[in-house]
Every structure is written in C-alpha cells, then in structure tokens.
Amino acid sequence: MSDKRILLIIGGGIAAYKSLELIRELGRRGIACRCILTSGGSQFVTPLSVSALSGEKVFTELFDLDDEAEMGHIQLSRSADLVVVCPATADLMAKAVHGHANDLASTTLLATDTPVLMVPAMNVRMWQHAATERNVAQLRSDGVTVMEPDEGAMACGEFGPGRLPQVPAIVAEIERQLDGQGQSSGKGKGALEGTHCIVTAGPTREPLDPVRFLSNHSSGRQGYAIAGALAAEGARVTLVSGPVALEAPRGVDLVKVETARQMLKAVEDALPADVFVSVAAVADWRPARAATKKLKIKGAGSATPSMELAENPDILRTVSNKRKNRPGLVIGFAAETNDVEEHATAKLKRKGCDWIVANDVSGDVMGGTENEIALVTQGGIDRWPRMGKTDVARRLAQKIAEALGGSDDDVKLAAE
C-alpha cells in the first residue's frame, strides 16, 4: 500500500472527529492521504490537526488563488487512487447525486474520474428519509460505493442506523478498494453475484401452553446484519428468522418461523444453497407436550408442576452432514459465556461445519450493537477486534466471498 494515495473529503457532522483517527490508521498502513475539509467539517476539526496527521496541505476553498496555483481542483480530483468522503453527510450525498458544484468538495466529486467511496453518518431519521434512500440508490447506480452506517446510540440522543462505521471497518473497505479484491455493495456486480446464501437469525420460541413459551435474549441483529451484507455483495439471500422486532434488509427473502422444527424445515425447503450461516439462537430443548390450555396455579400448598423436555433438532449439524444439497460453505455461531475458543473449536469438530464464529455473550452482546468474535476454521483462529455488528457482518461477507473465490487457503470447503 506504500504507493497508494487517497483524497479524503471531510464532511460536516460530529463524526468528523473520527476522520483524524482514520488518517492516522491509513498512515500506519503506508497509505498517503490528502484532505479537503468542508466548511461544516471545520466546525468539528481544524485544518491544523488534519494537516499534522496527514503531513499534507489541507484544501478548504474553491476560489483560493494560492491553492489553485499549487494544485487546481481538477488535478486534485484526479490525483488519488480513491476518493473517500468521510463522513458523508446527507447534504454532500445530495449534491453529488444532483451534480452541484458550489464548493470545493462538490466540485471535486463532479470533476473526478477516480473511484469514490462514501461513508455515511447522520441522524437516523435523515438516513431513513425517502430522499436519502433515493440518493443512496442513485449513487450506487452511478458506480459510487456507499457503505452501510452502523446502528446504535447517537450524539443527538436517538438510536438507530446512521452512525459512522467503526474506523477498522472503513480502513478495511479502503484497502479492499485499493487492492481491487472483490467488489463492494453498489459498485457494479457484487463479489457474491450468482450465489445463494441461507441465514438463520433470532431466537426460537417453544410453546409451554397457548400463552407461554421457552426462548432466549437473542435480538436477531447480527443475523440480520449478515443477511444484509451478503445481499449487498450481490448474493440471493434467504433469511429464516425467529420472532424479532427488526425489518428485513433490502433485497432479502424473509421466512418467518417460531419453533426450532419450523426453522429446520424452512432451511431445508430453501436448499440447495452455496452458503449456510447458522446465526440463530435455537432452543436446545422444548416441552415434550405443550398444554392446549393456559396452565393455572392451583393455589397455596399445591405441588409445583413438572415439565418433561424433548431435544430439538440440531439444525447446524443436520445441514453440515447432508449428503445431498450440502452447501459448499457451512458456518455456525458459538455463543459462549466462558472458554469461548475452546468450546468453539470443539463445536467445529462436533457439528461437522467449515467455520465457527465464536463470541462471548456473558456481557451485553445479546441485544447489543457490538460484538467481539473469533473466526475458527480448520486452519486456526482469526481474532477480530470488538466492532459494531454491521462491521462484523461486512467482514464476514468479505471472508465468504474470498473463500468461494478460492483465495482463502485456510478453509477446507466440502464438496457438494
């Protein structure tokens, strides 16, 4: 990467401060960074701090004779291997869509013939507004790569999608763009174009009676994020989901189920597939006999009712050991509270799958917005730093694309 250079456009918004960390991380990887600081961005970071980290002059004004004499805006727009807009505000994206050229940033975007990567950050309502959705769709249609924002608490006090992705995820996407390995969402055909992926997500509910059930705390966020990331890479995705309060990602075929047995049937009905990702927190046990009427307390002193349990089908093992229609890549999740990697390695062998994504759920992972995982394969353990679940999903989708493309030597793919 030592010969690579990016042009970073820093938009206005509280997330602009993360651009300083991004510049530093890119510098550590030998990627040179020249910067345009918008007037909005300068409300949050200073030209001096940007220049100190990048080691380059910072450009701010379109009509600056010194800047134009040194490097005109046309040359500036074409002097890099990649143009990165971070944070990409709703305003900057709207200007790019409509071809506005009323400041240095928008003029540069209009004049460039260099690939463009936009990293959005804005209020959740702005991100979900119909105008922004149209603009993002148009940018992707025009060949601009637009990353999906993270979901979580925002500086404005609201919660939802719209947060700037974690810096490691942005750096990984920049490196992928510069390497030319695969294609990301919105930039022509995706790296998983022509593949079929099945993803399970959320909990299952096993009925005790008509109003009660056995379940767990799974929110489905990680599974839904993975389904969305795979779809963004061009895959046809079937998402088999237990009961959650989430909307299906765009471009995903959603199949809703309640119980573990229903989930297994839906997965088998969706086969054949190239990839199976078993993210769902499936109940291991169910009541052997569910009551047809609501169970009643019989009064003080009455005996505590007993319950006989029956074992649920093991969906991951069933799919892993299929002789017909086994997906080429079968991935399981191991949610553990202790000895995470040891349990995950044992599960990889016991289930017969190709990968295990292991995570510690002793904290706030279930229902939370972040995850810290270790990818366990036949070749060893790849430990990832703690990051947003959206970032985990994107990184996993990239790993899957590499494996299906034959570039991951650590993975042993089973023959169909």
What's the pLDDT tens digit per position in 312-356? Answer: 999 999 999 999 999 999 999 987 778 888 888 999 999 999 999
Residue 156 known to be catalytic: yes
Within this chain, do residues 150 and 206 fall inside the same structural domain, yes or no?
A: no
Per-residue pLDDT tens over the stretch 7-36: 999 999 899 999 999 999 999 888 999 999
Taken in order 152, 157, 161, 166, the sign of the CA dihedral is negative
Band of the pLDDT at 408, cuts 50, 70, 90?
Answer: very low
Within this chain, do residues 140 and 242 fall inside the same structural domain, yes or no?
A: no
Rounded distance, CA 154 to CA 164, Å? 10
Residue 290 lies in a domain: no
| Preceding peptide of 272 cis, ω within 30° | yes
Within this chain, do residues 207 and 344 fall inside the same structural domain, yes or no?
A: yes
Residues tagged in the binding site annotation: 284, 294, 313-316, 333, 347, 351
Which CATH number goes with the domain that contains 9? Answer: 3.40.50.1950
Within this chain, do residues 174 and 204 fall inside the same structural domain, yes or no?
A: no
CB 109 within 8 A of CB 135: no
**Kind and range of the H or E element at 388?**
strand 387-388
Within this chain, do residues 173 and 223 fall inside the same structural domain, yes or no?
A: no
Instruction: Return the number of other C-beta atoms located less than 10 Å from residue 322's C-beta.
Output: 18
Rounded distance, CA 90 to CA 82, Å? 21
Which CATH number goes with the domain that contains 202? Answer: 3.40.50.10300
Tokens 């020249």 correspond to what residue? 34
Within this chain, do residues 147 and 217 fall inside the same structural domain, yes or no?
A: no
Tell me how far CA of residue 24 lies from CA of 17, 43, 146, in angstroms: 12, 20, 22
**Kind and range of the H or E element at 250?**
none
Range 148-175 average pLDDT? 84
End-of-domain residue from the set 129, 146, 179: 179
pTM above 0.75, yes or no: no
- Catalytic residue from among 33, 35, 156, 353: 156
Residue 416 lies in a domain: no
Residues tagged in the binding site annotation for CTP: 284, 294, 313-316, 333, 347, 351
Dig out the tokens for 412 from the structure. 């042993």
Residue 296 lies in a domain: no
Within this chain, do residues 245 and 174 fall inside the same structural domain, yes or no?
A: no
Q: Provide the pLDDT for residue 181.
A: 38
Question: In sequence order, which residues have a C-beta less than 8 Å from that of residue 262 and are 6 or more positions away?
Answer: 204
Write out the residue range of the structural domain in which residue 339 sits.
Answer: 196-285+308-404
Within this chain, do residues 45 and 148 fall inside the same structural domain, yes or no?
A: yes
Within this chain, do residues 164 and 255 fall inside the same structural domain, yes or no?
A: no
Q: Provide the pLDDT for residue 182.
A: 40
